Amino acid sequence: MTTQAELDERYGRARGGRLRARWLAVAAVAVAAIGWLAWTTVAAAMDDVGVDDLGFHVADEHTVEVSFQFTAPAGRDVACALEALDEDFGVVGFTVFEYPAGGSHAQQHRETIPTVAEATTGLVNSCWVT
């Protein structure tokens, strides 16, 4: 006749050490994964640049002025890509402006985009920390 201990051993219902070690290993992996996700989220947010288009003005068939503001980490240089689009949303002007680090998180700018054809709009494509 087999005892309860023999049946537990045979079918993997071991008590004690092995089960506890497995749970500790799973918990350690979960804590490491949560820590890694938290760090990547914080690291990505530290260099985040927010941008708002304030308006545009088509000066003539070869020039568009774009007004915008951005918020960036203080003490970091920022670059912004500006576009001018025609009525079919084709890019007729594109330029990148670089801004030195300012003492403030928010900066407001008005830039001129040269175009190869008449544009109907001007906008900020994106801004990033350099």
The CA radius of gyration of the chain, in Å to the nearest whole number, is: 29
**Along the 130 residues of the chain, how does pLDDT read in single tens digits?**
778 878 877 777 766 667 778 888 999 999 999 999 999 888 777 778 999 999 999 999 999 999 999 999 888 899 999 999 999 999 999 999 999 987 788 999 999 999 999 999 999 999 999 8
User: What's the topology of domain 50-129?
Assistant: Immunoglobulin-like (2.60.40)
Rounded Cα gap, residues 63 and 93, in angstroms: 9
* Count of C-beta atoms within a 10 Å radius of residue 127: 23
Rounded Cα gap, residues 112 and 122, in angstroms: 9
pTM: 0.66
